[in-house]
Chains A and B, each alone.
Chain A
């Protein structure tokens, strides 16, 4: 009798386990389902409008003539300005924290501060940029104001990635370098940084791919929606891909949504390329030691 009861309990427990295994699996696949729905939907809506002219044209009042050229170039210029600022600041901060900083309260404060900055909503960075860059420094709604705002936004991400990369450089090769008579900075410049470059690059590309899709802060610091020239200086007005997509999405006529779909395809393809490069760098230079 007892054996019988425990046997049926056993069966129930095992059955429950199997049911939950399936439930957990289904829950996991919902992300996948959602992603495929999203892609199918966007390809469906946008592919018809994705022509060479769409890539070459400036914004236009008619669906047939609307294009993304200003956005693509604007995003490119924005990234060309953002990347050096954010990477130099980020890697320097990481080097200071990992190699030079004394273990004291101030260092700890910087570290906690970087972590907290990463959690600040992007739109708040937009407000920072609006007050400081647009109004206080009187840059206005220009490319450089947007780039500086974006640099501060992705700074914490780059700092954390660079710190990890620098930390993973083995101690032995640093000590060997010091032992050969190199100074600290020589060691960092010739040994630590080259070894950490793949990690830093991967992190930076991922951070930039976040910046390229970011919309909210740029809406605040005044990226325009209708731009008919490409920026010719750092003080030009500009637009970027996500802002154009946003402006098309928010129009009531349905055909504009197809144009937005085409814009999203372009944006996603660029993002995919950036991510692929990051993954390629990560795999290529992995485990050198």
Chain B
């Protein structure tokens, strides 16, 4: 009798604890997705924050300096009140152009070698090297451009300034090689093997297979990788800050010292710029210009790789 009572008691207890456990489980089951969703919205908030920041401060800037003065003006000397952004844009374009001249042939050639010619063993050696190259901090590249590439180039071109677009552009180009190489190689690897085998069986050489089969088939991926690399080159900051100088010249002469959009943002933000001054707001106007440039490039890259993908 006593025994029975005790048993009933403990069963009731058990049911109770079980219920409590279940309730706890149910609450966590319900609250966890809410927490996760909250975390996921942080990334959206970041984007909204970026756009909001850039827009708000730029609008303040454009109430001081007109849009036309900013985008049509050709003289950029913010400390004497001249805010024509053209020299910064040409500076950025010059660097980007030099960089892509270096990176496009070398990157695509590396991709071709890795995907079409290299044996598995060679690939296993070369790919990590490219990864290391991609992981070198940009400040190190900047140091290298200033202390090694520039003196080297000065041996060839005596008129070269200490700070110049050429050396910075070349090093930016080398920085983006791994990006073009690895993304293009992915695109070439994605071309199905039977196309390759079919062309080889018809008597084509590897080179003919590459240029007549692989590259046309992988073209969208290659172009997308190049556009993405362009966007990286436009947004690159430390190399150009260190090696290209801080003199906004409206020139396409690569031996001259120039200033890019990014380099001005650094100069403007780290100097003695006071909060709320026109120069302070001009950083954001330059920033939004840069953001729009890279955003368009990124969108274009995604669009190309989605839209023109060859499906087999």
In the bound complex, CA of A100 to CA of B31 (Å): 12
Given A92-B35, A117-B47, answer yes or no on A219-B143 (Cβ-Cβ < 8 Å).
no
Cβ 8 A contact of A213, one of B42, B129, B138? B138
A205–B35 CA distance with the chains assembled, in angstroms: 24
In the complex, the answer to whether A28 meets B238 with C-beta atoms within 8 Å is no
Q: Does A236 contact B (CB under 8 A)?
A: no
Let me know if A249 and B114 touch, CB within 8 A: no
Quick check: is A173 within 8 A (CB to CB) of the other chain?
no
B147 touches A119 (CB 8 A): no
A156 at the interface (CB under 8 A from B): yes
**Could you tell me if B238 and A246 are in contact, using CB atoms closer than 8 angstroms?**
yes
Whether the pair A250, B53 counts as a contact (CB closer than 8 A) is no
Q: Are B270 and A113 in contact (CB under 8 A)?
A: no
| A183 interface residue (CB < 8 Å to B) | yes
B284 within 8 A of A: yes
Main secondary structure on B side of the interface with A: helix
Q: Determine if A250 and B49 form an interchain contact, defined as CB atoms under 8 angstroms apart.
A: no
Confirm or deny: B5 has a beta carbon within 8 angstroms of a beta carbon on chain A: no
Chain A: interface size category: 35 or more
CA of A45 to CA of B143, assembled, Å? 11
In the complex, which of the residues B41, B57, B237 has the most CB atoms of chain A within 10 Å of its own CB atom?
A: B237
Q: Can you list, as one digit per residue, whether each of B98-131 has a CB less than 8 Å from chain A (1) or not (0)?
A: 0000000110011011101110000000100110
A116 and chain B: residue at smallest CB distance: B298
Decide if A21 touches B177 in the complex (CB within 8 Å). Answer: no
- CB nearest to B32 among chain A residues: A185
B211 CB, nearest partner CB in chain A, Å: 9
Identify B147's interface contact among A21, A185, A246, A257, CB under 8 A: A257
B269 within 8 A of A: yes
Smallest Cβ-Cβ distance to A252: which chain B residue: B162
Q: How far is the CA of A271 from the CA of B137 in the complex (A)?
A: 9
A245 touches B139 (CB 8 A): yes
User: CB-defined interface of B30-65 with A at 8 Å, one 1/0 digit per residue?
Assistant: 001101111111111011011001101100000000
Main secondary structure of the interface of A (DSSP, over half): helix
User: What per-residue 1/0 map shows which CB atoms of A236-251 lie under 8 Å from chain B?
Assistant: 0000001001100110
- Which residue on A lies nearest to B38, using beta carbons? A92
Q: Which residue of the partner chain, among B29, B142, B237, contacts A249 with CB atoms under 8 Å?
A: B142
Is A43 part of the contact surface with B, judged by Cβ < 8 Å?
no
What band does the interface of chain B fall in when counting residues whose beta carbon is under 8 Å from A?
Answer: 35 or more
Q: Is the CB of B54 within 8 A of A100?
A: no
Asked whether, in the complex, the Cβ of A267 is within 8 Å of the Cβ of B228, the reply is no
Within 8 A of A (CB), among B131-162: 132-133, 135-140, 142-144, 146-148
User: In the complex, which residues of chain A have a beta carbon less than 8 angstroms from the beta carbon of B142?
Assistant: 246, 249
A32-B287 CB under 8 A given contacts A92-B35, A220-B270: no
State which of B12-20, B77-85, B289-297 sits at the interface with chain A. Answer: B289-297
Q: Are A216 and B275 in contact (CB under 8 A)?
A: no
Interface flag for B25 (CB, 8 Å): yes
Is B69 part of the binding interface, using a Cβ–Cβ cutoff of 8 Å? no
Cα(A30)–Cα(B171), bound, Å: 12
> Among the listed A14, A97, A123, which residue makes an inter-chain contact with B40, where contact means beta carbons less than 8 Å apart?
A97
A206: B residues at CB distance < 8 A? 135
B310 at the interface (CB under 8 A from A): no
The answer to whether the Cβ of B189 comes within 8 Å of any Cβ in the partner chain is: no
In the complex, chain A residues whose CB is within 8 Å of the CB of B238: 215-216, 242, 246
Q: Are B265 and A96 in contact, CB atoms less than 8 angstroms apart?
A: no
The interface-forming segment of A34-42, A48-56, A58-66, A194-202 is A34-42
Contacts of A81 in B (CB 8 A): none
- Please report the C-alpha to C-alpha distance between residue A183 and residue B43 in the assembled complex, in whole angstroms: 28
Chain B residues near A114: list those with CB within 8 A. Answer: 43
**Chain B residue with the shortest CB-CB distance to A257:** B147
CB distance from A39 to the nearest CB of B (A): 10
Contact B50 A219 (CB under 8 A): no
Complex alpha-carbon distance, A92 and B144, angstroms: 39
**A31 contacts B133, CB within 8 Å?**
yes
- Does the CB pair A220–B266 fall under 8 Å? yes
Chain B residues positioned under 8 Å from A216 (CB to CB) = 138, 237-238, 241, 262, 266
Chain A CB within 8 A of B207 CB:
yes
CA of A257 to CA of B53, assembled, Å: 37
Separation of A142 and B214 alpha carbons in the complex (Å): 52
Q: Which residue of A lies closest to B238 (CB)?
A: A215
Contacts of A45 on B, CB cut-off 8 Å? 147
CA distance A159 to B43 in the complex (A): 10
Seed contacts A109-B44, A152-B46; 20 additional CB < 8 Å A-B pairs? A16-B207, A21-B117, A28-B181, A31-B133, A32-B129, A41-B148, A100-B36, A100-B37, A110-B44, A113-B44, A122-B235, A124-B50, A127-B53, A128-B49, A132-B49, A220-B266, A222-B270, A245-B143, A246-B142, A275-B135
- Closest A-B pairs by Cβ, 7 of them: A121-B235, A213-B137, A92-B39, A27-B109, A96-B36, A24-B113, A216-B237
Task: Show the binding face of B for A, using Cβ within 8 Å.
Answer: 25, 28-29, 32-33, 35-44, 46-47, 49-50, 53-54, 56-57, 105-106, 109-110, 112-114, 116-118, 126, 129-130, 132-133, 135-140, 142-144, 146-148, 174, 177-178, 181, 205-208, 228, 231, 234-238, 241-242, 262, 265-266, 269-270, 275, 283-284, 287, 290-291, 294-295, 297-299, 302
